[in-house]
Amino acid sequence: MSIASINPATGAEIKTFTPLTDAEIDQKLTVAAATFATYRHTSFDQRATWLRQAAQVLEDNKAAYAKIMTLEMGKPLAAAVAEVEKSALVCRYYADHGADFLADEPATTDASRSFVRYQPLGLILAVMPWNFPFWQVFRFAAPALMAGNVGLLKHASNVPQCALVIEEIFHKAGLPPGAFQTLLIGGARASALVADTRIAAATLTGSEPAGASLAAACGQQIKKTVLELGGSDPFIVMPSADLESAIATAAAARMLNNGQSCIAAKRFIVHESIAERFEQGLTEQFATLVVGNPLDEGVTVGPLATPDIAAELEQQVQACLDQGGNALIGGSVAALKAQLPAGLQGGNWFPPTILAALPPGTPADQEEFFGPVALVFRVASLDDAIARANDIPFGLGASGWSQDPTEQERLIAELEAGAVFINGLVKSDPRLPFGGIKRSGYGRELGRQGMLEFVNTKTVWVK
C-alpha cells in the first residue's frame, strides 16, 4: 500500500511513495545505532553549531517549506511560514541553552564528590502528527539531538513530503546522516518497531488510540514514552474580563490551524451576565473569516486535512443540532461548498461554526471537535465554570479571562490542565514545558523539563 500526498483543498493526488520494506527499516536502524555510538560523544558546542545551521536552513528556505506544508495539510500559507520560523526558533533555543540544561549538578553527600550527570538514551522513535508537520517534529528533535540522542521520525502518512524534507534539513545542517532519519511507513507498523532492542524510547503526538497503542507496545518492552494527545481546552470568560480582547483572542484561538490544534480553545465557558455580548462579538469575528484555497493571499481558513476528519466533525455538529443546539453561524457544509469555486469542490471543507444553547448529552460534553467549531456554554458562577471546564476526559491547556486576582488564583489552582494561561491564548513556547494530564497524555516537551525526558539521569558517587 502506497503513502500518498493529497491536496486537501482539492482532493487531488500530488505524489505517492512506496513504504519502506522491513529490510530497509533494519538498515536505517543499523545506521542510526552506529551513528549514536559516536554522536553521543560529540561536544555540546558541535551539536549547537549543527542546530544553528538547521535553523538557518529553515529560514533560508521558509517559503518553499511552507508551500509543501500547505499543499499537504491545508493550513494558510502565512501560518505555514510562521511555523517554519518557529521551528528555527526552537533549534536556536536549545543550541543556546542545552549545555546549561545538561550540566553536571553537584550534590552534598557523604562522598568526596557526588553529582548528577545527564546522558543520552540512544535511538528515539518519534511518531508525529500532520497538523503541525514541522513544529511538532522540531520541538522533539532539537532537544533530543542536543542531548546526544539520535532521532527516527515516523510522520503522519498524509505529510510524506514534509517528513522527507525535515530529514534533508538536518543533513544540510551538517549532522551525521544517521542522526535523524525519516521512516516512511504506515501507522500500524510504528508500534511493532519499539520491539527492536536498538530503539531506546518513543514519543507520540496524536490521537488517543494511537497513543494507547504505542504506550502499550513500549510498556511490554519497558521503554520510556512521552505522549501528547487530544484536548478540548476550556476558555473561561468572567464579567471582570476585558471582553473585547477576550472575544478577539477567542476567535484566533479557535481558528488556529483551521481549528485543528490540540491546544486550540474549543469550549467557551462564559458567565451568563456577559454571554450574549460574547456570543454576538464572536459571531461577528467568525463572519469576517475568509475560507478558501490556503495558498491564496487573504485566506484565513483552509480545508481540513483529510476527508475522515471532515466527516467526523460534520457528524458531531449535526448530532448537536439534532439534539437541540443552535448554530449562531455556519454549520452547513453544503452552504459553504456552494460558495467555493469548482476547483475546490473536492476538498475537505467545513465552515467556521459556533454552537450555543447546547443541551446536556450532546457530543460537545465529552468529545474533542477537531476543526473550526466553537462550543459556547453559559454558566452562573466561577464555581460552575471550573466544574464545567474540568468535566472532560482531557487536560491539556486552559485559558481564563478575569481581572480579579482572586479569580485568577482560583483558575490557576483548580483547572485540571498541563497549562493555564490567564488573559491570553494557550500556546507552546520553547522556554516553558508543554504537555497534559488525564487522557491528554503524560510527560513534557520543551523547556528544560522536556529535554530531560530522554536522558539517563545518572547519580555519581565518588569516595
We report the CATH number of the domain holding residue 193 as 3.40.605.10
Q: Using DSSP, state whether 316 is helix, strand or coil.
A: helix
Say whether pLDDT at 444 is over 80: yes
Distances (CA, A) of 205 to 202, 231, 435: 10, 12, 10
Q: Which of 72, 83, 167, 228 is catalytic?
A: 228
The C-alpha cell at 445 is: 516537551
E strand or H helix at 460: strand 455-462
What's the mean pLDDT in 43-61? 98
Both 202 and 259 in one domain: the answer is no
Rounded (10°) CA dihedral 32, 37, 43, 46: -30
Cβ 149 vs Cβ 124: under 8 Å? yes
What's the CA gap between 149 and 134, in Å, rounded?
19
Say whether pLDDT at 151 is over 90: yes
Q: Which of 91, 262, 279, 445 is catalytic?
A: 262
CATH number of the domain to which 292 belongs: 3.40.309.10
Look at the block and give the residue holding cell 497534559.
436
Lowest mean pLDDT among 57-66, 189-198, 279-288: 189-198
Both 101 and 48 in one domain: the answer is yes
Both 22 and 161 in one domain: the answer is yes
3-state helix, strand, coil in the chain (%, to 5): 45, 20, 35
Both 160 and 200 in one domain: the answer is yes
Residue 29 banded pLDDT, cuts 50, 70, 90? very high
Residue 121 banded pLDDT, cuts 50, 70, 90? very high
What length is written for the chain?
Answer: 463
In the chain, % of residues over pLDDT 90: 98
What range defines the domain where residue 50 resides?
Answer: 3-229+440-462
Both 204 and 264 in one domain: the answer is no
Both 260 and 194 in one domain: the answer is no
Both 365 and 260 in one domain: the answer is yes
Both 13 and 92 in one domain: the answer is yes
Residues 349-364 have pLDDT tens digits of 999 999 999 999 999 9
What's the CA gap between 120 and 454, in Å, rounded?
7
Rg (CA), the chain: 23
Cβ 127 vs Cβ 190: under 8 Å? yes
Task: Read off the DSSP letter of residue 434.
Answer: B
Say whether pLDDT at 1 is over 80: no
Say whether pLDDT at 191 is over 90: no
What's the CA gap between 450 and 453, in Å, rounded?
5
Threshold 0.95, pTM exceeds: yes
Look at the block and give the residue holding cell 490542565.
417
Mean pLDDT of the chain: 97
Residue 410: what pLDDT? Answer: 98
What's the CA gap between 319 and 330, in Å, rounded?
15
Residue 434 covered by a domain: no
What's the mean pLDDT in 162-179? 98
What's the mean pLDDT in 205-211? 96
Angle at the Cα of 94 from the Cα atoms of 441 and 183, rounded to 5 degrees: 60
Residues 247-269 have pLDDT tens digits of 999 999 999 999 999 999 999 99
E strand or H helix at 270: strand 265-271
Residue 292 banded pLDDT, cuts 50, 70, 90? very high
Say whether pLDDT at 192 is over 90: no
Residue 285: what pLDDT? Answer: 98
Residue 40: how many CB atoms within 10 A of its CB? 15
Both 186 and 309 in one domain: the answer is no
Q: Where are the alpha helices (DSSP H) in 222-358?
A: 243-255, 275-287, 307-322, 333-337
Task: Read off the DSSP letter of residue 257.
Answer: G
Both 415 and 446 in one domain: the answer is no
Residue 219 covered by a domain: yes
Cβ 274 vs Cβ 239: under 8 Å? yes
**Parallel, antiparallel, or unpaired for β 419-422 and 3-6?**
unpaired
Both 281 and 214 in one domain: the answer is no
In one-letter notation, the amino acid at residue 335 is A
Q: Using DSSP, state whether 181 is helix, strand or coil.
A: strand
Residue 435 covered by a domain: no
Both 341 and 361 in one domain: the answer is yes
Residue 28 covered by a domain: yes
Whether 320 sits among the annotated catalytic residues: the reply is no
Whether 262 sits among the annotated catalytic residues: the reply is yes
Say whether pLDDT at 188 is over 90: no
Say whether pLDDT at 184 is over 80: yes
Cβ 299 vs Cβ 411: under 8 Å? no
Say whether pLDDT at 86 is over 90: yes
Residue 10 covered by a domain: yes
Residue 187 banded pLDDT, cuts 50, 70, 90? confident
Q: How far is CA 301 from the centre of its chain?
A: 18
The number of folded domains in the chain is: 2
What's the mean pLDDT in 407-422? 98
